[in-house]
Structure 1
Amino acid sequence: MSSGILFEFDNHIARVTLDRPKALNSIDPEMDAALFEAWAEINSNPDIWVAVLGATGEKAFCAGANVSGGTEGDGRRMALGGGLTGVGGPMLTLRKPLIAAVQGYAIGGGFELAMCADIIVAADNAQFGIPETKVGIIGEAGIMHRAIRQLPHHIAMALILTGERIDAQQAERYGLVNEVVPYEKLLETAWSWADRIASASPLAVQAAKDAVLSRAGWPLDIALATRYEPIEAYANSADRIEGRAAFADKRAARWSGR
């Protein structure tokens, strides 16, 4: 991957690390392009079942961005965060589960990026904020739309209107994060979540994520009546056969992701 991003995967779990600690891991164009490459690899590689997004250094997960709607030399345009946020360009949908391991500052575009995850684990020093109104800069409103959907209405509005931050304990109380741990245990805890997800059928997990998120904003009757292609495709997969055999044999399933 390009400068500013570390990428590796092992035992079906990918690890993407924001690696500009001196810049509080803020996202620049090169980093944006590297994130796009990472998400594309995770989506296309059948041996990757879950991803963990973390950052280098104790001070910040990501303190925002100095790029929006980045453009590469080949003319490809993407949204902030390698396309993940949908801010400033076309949005890339990550089909695999994503866990964000957040420490220190997660503000502006960094907060937005964390909210793109399916599960958030926060270090006890984490702070989440939307500083746009406080600094007098209002551009793309993606972070506000996500916050009003992922936080209680009045909590989100207070963050948006004041530009103030909430700490990890408040974020957990409001349901924004799944777990708060000491900084020293952050990656260990995020990896534990990834292991738990990877122990389930990867195709079933991906089909469930697709079904839930693709109809999250729709009325319940429409969501219930929708036919979901990934779920229908799973019915003919090797993993479905293996799951039924493992249940009958009272043993752990040996998933292939096929």
Structure 2
Amino acid sequence: MADVEFHVDNHVAHVRLNRPQGMNAITGGMDDLLFEAWKTINDDPEIWCAVLSAEGEKAFCIGADVSEGPERKTRMALAGGLTGIGGPLVTLRKPMVAAVQGFCVGGGFELAMCADIIVAAETAQFGLPETRHGIIGECGVVHRAIRQLPHHIAMAMILTGERIDAASAAQYGLVNEVVPYAGLAEAAAAWAAKINKCAPLANQAAKAAVLGRLGYPLEVALMTRFEEIEQYAESDDVRERNAAAAEGRKPVWTGR
């Protein structure tokens, strides 16, 4: 079995970390496989959303496999192609759901925060242990944490290395849903199904607009014209939307 499994089912790409014996720490080889997965998801019009998960109850991912040593070379650093540390920023254009259990720390935490929706098992523990171990570099995880958590919660995690549990993560708005571990895959699949009820190109345009002006003042965002939204306006799905409304039926999306 590959250390990163990938398959597509009913317009959903499933990306699964499969190295539970190493707590799903990301090796250079896994990094390459993840990069290829993100590229395929972005490029394939039949893929409308993605679910990222991990094998084994103990850990979602503990970050980089440090046993490979400081000479370790990766294509896109710890988070397998999404964060851009050490390479060009790669953003997943399709919506992504992360299903998280056990330890989700360091680069693993960063990888989860790249998702648009996070479902956490009750066993999940989120943390940034870098400074506790005397490690800090071009650390994307801290930049994401300070944007996705309340300021003082994120700073406490960064400066102490202490973890928060799934219930606290939900309280702080980091995760969308907390479920028993046995129901994690089902919950993630349910979120993917909700996403895919929507027009896929509309979702992609909305995500592009949100992320494209996330760091800008509201006035700038409101004045911006987005290429993805304008392209969607000329799509088959817009014509299908109008036809379905006129005929009193539910639209059948094609993502075209």
TM-score range, shorter chain: over 0.9
- 1:178 corresponds to: 176
Alignment of 1:188 onto 2:186? yes
Please identify runs of 4+ aligned residues in structure 1 that moved more than 4 A: 67-72
**1:86 offset after TM fit, Å?**
1.9
- 1:210 corresponds to: 208
How far apart in 2 are the matches of 1:213 and 1:194? 20
- 2:220 corresponds to: 222
Distance 1:69 1:90, change over 3 A: farther
Distance 1:117 1:70, change over 3 A: farther
- 1:6 corresponds to: 5
**Alpha-carbon contact 2:15-2:50 (below 8 Å) kept:** yes
Secondary structure of 2:53 counterpart = strand
- 2:63 corresponds to: 64
Q: What TM-score, normalized by structure 2, do the two folds share?
A: 0.95
**Alpha-carbon contact 2:63-2:79 (below 8 Å) kept:** no
Distance 1:39 1:94, change over 3 A: same
Instruction: Give the number of equivalent residue pairs.
Output: 253
- 1:46 corresponds to: 45
- 2:79 corresponds to: 81
**Alpha-carbon contact 1:69-1:88 (below 8 Å) kept:** no
**1:70 offset after TM fit, Å?**
6.5
Name which of 165, 168, 171 aligns with 1:167. 165
1:126-141 aligned at under 5 Å gives the runs 126-141=124-139
Gaps of 5+ in 2: none
**1:59 offset after TM fit, Å?**
0.5
How far apart in 1 are the matches of 2:230 and 2:145? 32
Q: Which stretch has the larger CA shift, 237-246 or 202-211?
A: 237-246
Secondary structure of 1:106 counterpart = strand
- 1:106 corresponds to: 104
Distance 1:184 1:138, change over 3 A: same
Sequence identity of aligned pairs in percent? 63
How far apart in 2 are the matches of 1:139 and 1:42? 29
**1:184 offset after TM fit, Å?**
0.4
- 2:16 corresponds to: 17
Q: What TM-score, normalized by structure 1, do the two folds share?
A: 0.95
Gaps of 5+ in 1: none
**1:3 offset after TM fit, Å?**
3.1
**1:141 offset after TM fit, Å?**
2.0
Secondary structure of 1:6 counterpart = strand
RMSD: 1.5
- 2:90 corresponds to: 92
- 2:115 corresponds to: 117
Secondary structure of 2:178 counterpart = strand
Q: Counterpart of 1:153 in structure 2: which amino acid? A: H
Q: Counterpart of 2:127 in structure 1: which amino acid? A: G
**Alpha-carbon contact 1:70-1:79 (below 8 Å) kept:** no
